[in-house]
Amino acid sequence: MRRLIREFLGAVQFLTRIPLPQRWLGEVSLARAAPYFPLVGALLGLAAAGIDAAVRPHLAPTAAAAATVVFLVLITGALHEDGLADSADGFGGGATADRALAIMRDSRIGSYGAIAVALSLLLRIVLIAALPAPDALAYLVTAEMLSRWSVLPLAYFLPSARQGGPSAGQGARLAGSISPPAMAIGTLIAAAVTLASLHAASWRPWMACLLATAASGLYFRRRIRGVTGDCFGAAIQITAIAVYLCGAWR
């Protein structure tokens, strides 16, 4: 039980900026923590739904959605937005795989990255505001959960785009290290929570998630022959938007 708790806390540490005492973590392999990524996403979505429920009666839907997105950005330390920005700069400015990877390693944000983050924030705010009030909780939980689940198949099927060593980064070292049991456990968690949240309509966000994840993975393979930690952040953003679009679609 203690090992399971440490692995879950390892997933929390990787996906958020929630401060955790080191003595609670110990030596936790990121690959062993990966099955809990969807659970962490579900809890983030649940907390975001609490923010939405608290402010929606007092604000316009767009303002309430903005408060919800700000919460998600703060609790994750803008980690996924940073990955999206670096990926957009790399893919937008790098004609070759090596050049794209070099740009992605640069901590400075360029015009492609700034535009990508602005569009991501805008789309999430608009789509969350458009969610029907009775469905807001279900789709906030589902979108944040399935977006974290997307890391599992990407890391399972794709190798690291960077060679090993400290420069590869923790996220890149996750690539190719997901075991079939870890993939199965994470998928079962995601499927169970989605079914409990949306019942018969749960196939729609799953289709949106699978299409977004598959498209992202094929693009990453074609452009840089694998994935990096920044790619995971970008995929999380893209998948969340796809699921929110599914919920807001009339």
Contact 123, 243 (CB under 8 A): no
The Cα–Cα gap between 43 and 172 comes to 24
pLDDT value at 18 more than 80: yes
CA 8 to chain centre: 16
pLDDT value at 1 more than 90: no
Range in 45-49, 162-166, 198-202 the model is least confident about: 162-166
Residue 27 is assigned to a structural domain of this protein: no
pLDDT of residue 231: 96
Convert the pLDDT of each residue in 191-210 to its tens digit.
999 999 999 999 999 999 99
Residue 163 is assigned to a structural domain of this protein: yes
pLDDT of residue 32: 87
The number of folded domains in the chain is 1
pLDDT of residue 9: 87
Averaged pLDDT for residues 121-132: 97
Band of residue 71 on the pLDDT scale cut at 50, 70, 90 = very high
Of the chain, the percentage scoring pLDDT greater than 90 comes to 79
Residue 56 is assigned to a structural domain of this protein: yes
CA 102 to chain centre: 23
Task: Provide the whole-model pTM.
Answer: 0.94
Averaged pLDDT for residues 10-17: 90
Q: What is the DSSP annotation of 21-81?
A: -HHHH-S--HHHHGGGHHHHHHHHHHHHHHHHHHHTTTS-HHHHHHHHHHHHHHHTTTHHH
Residue 77 is assigned to a structural domain of this protein: yes
Band of residue 4 on the pLDDT scale cut at 50, 70, 90 = confident
**Tokens at residue 166, please?**
């400290």
Residue 18 is assigned to a structural domain of this protein: yes
pLDDT value at 167 more than 60: no
Averaged pLDDT for residues 170-179: 81
Domain of 87 in residue numbering reads as 2-22+32-248
pLDDT of residue 107: 84
Residue 36 is assigned to a structural domain of this protein: yes
pLDDT of residue 5: 82
